[in-house]
Copies of this chain bind each other. A is one copy, B any other.
Amino acid sequence: MEYRRIKDQDKSEAAVIDDLESRPGMCAVLPKSEGKIGDKSKWKLKTVVTLALTFLTSSQAILIVWSKRAGKYDYSVTTANFLVEALKCALSLAALTRLWRTDGVTEDNRLSTTFDEVSVYPIPAALYLVKNLLQYYIFAYVDAPGYQILKNLNIISTGVLYRIILKRKLSEIQWAAFILLCAGCTTAQLNPSSDHVLQTPFQGWIMAIVMALLSGFAGVYTEAIIKKRPSRNINVQNFWLYVFGMAFNAVAILVQDFDAVMNKGFFHGYSLITVLMIVNHALSGIAVSMVMKYADNIVKVYSTSVAMLLTAVVSVFLFNFHLSLAFFLGSTVVSVSVYMHSIGKLQR
């Protein structure tokens, strides 16, 4: 739904060109004037994809809580991940087919590609795979709630890598806002046992930092790939990203769940919630790509952080959750951070 709406506005891609001005080695393929006309529709696109990502991320977390309440996962997580990639691939193809029918096949929306274009697409998928493997080992040093706290290091690593790799500047106020975002999200997640995190052994800290860097790097690298060819249709870019996602997840099925799939079948343990989660993950994944194309990693981080707070508020009504004082304080800090980020942009 959101996805369709966004697709129809593909022609305004030119609008993202001015985002790329400061980066070397990127050429503007469309005349400047078109970029200016697109300013308003660019803003619209940014807003739509950001809201979609926020909505999908928070409903994702709610589905997870729901599935946990309904009982333990008894399906293979690797098969579900594979299906998420496959569904994203299918949706990208469907969008492309529709586009080919209306606009015909052009240089920008054709599926065929060069080795030069496609060679970088496996990298984010490979980084995520390494990160997911590390995830199993970090639990030797930190418990699950502690890991949730440490995951907020992603915010800082994304900011730093965004600066280094994409060479995009954040104003001083925006940096301050980013530190606040990290502190605010962590505060909102505090619980009486959170102090254990401070006793995390040195190896645990190193792994948490490495994982944050891998995750931040994968995100920033995806943005770099997608923005490198601003006029290329996002659905083609997504198609290639997701093809490699499927390939890497197929390997994960073979390595981790081969026996389970062989004995109990590919779809063993699937339920309505599982299907909803797969659909949700697929749509969120597409929303993330859209945010990378039309906005950036910083917007993505803000969007998912706000989604985390929204989830908690919605859970109060759905699951009778109680909000802690720490949650209110963290939310206040995150709100001020969002405000400062927008102010910092104006004053840059």
Q: List chain A positions with a Cβ less than 8 A from chain B.
A: 149, 172-173, 176, 179-180, 183-184, 186-187, 190, 192, 194-195, 197-198, 324-326, 328-330, 332-333, 336, 339-340, 343, 347
Contacts and interface: CB of A to CB of B under 8 A. Distances in A.
B340 A187 contact: no
Contacts of A190: 190, 325-326, 329
In this complex, which of A197, A329, A340 has the most chain B Cβ atoms within 10 angstroms of its Cβ?
A329
Contacts of A333: 180, 183-184, 187, 333
Contact of A340 (B176, B195, B325, B330): B176
Contacts of A187: 187, 326, 329-330, 333
Identical chains in the assembly: 2
A300 B198 CA distance: 32
Contacts of A336: 176, 179-180, 183
A155 to B, nearest CB: 13
A227 to B, nearest CB: 30
Given A179-B332, A180-B333, 17 more contacts: A173-B173, A176-B339, A176-B343, A180-B180, A186-B325, A187-B187, A187-B329, A187-B333, A190-B325, A190-B329, A194-B325, A195-B325, A197-B325, A198-B324, A198-B325, A198-B328, A333-B333
A120 B343 CA distance: 42
Q: Which of A149, A180, A330 has the most CB of B within 10 A?
A: A180
Nearest to A192: B192
Contacts of A195: 324-326
A336 B192 CA distance: 25
29 contacts: A149-B325, A172-B343, A173-B173, A173-B343, A176-B339, A179-B332, A180-B180, A180-B333, A180-B336, A183-B333, A183-B336, A187-B187, A187-B326, A187-B330, A187-B333, A190-B326, A190-B329, A192-B192, A194-B325, A194-B326, A195-B324, A195-B325, A195-B326, A197-B325, A198-B325, A198-B328, A326-B326, A333-B333, A347-B347
Nearest to A339: B176
A184 B326 CA distance: 11
A208 to B, nearest CB: 14
A119 B149 CA distance: 56
A321 to B, nearest CB: 13
A109 to B, nearest CB: 44
Nearest to A193: B192
Contacts of A180: 180, 333, 336
A183 B332 contact: yes
A254 B330 CA distance: 46
Contacts of A326: 187, 190, 194-195, 326
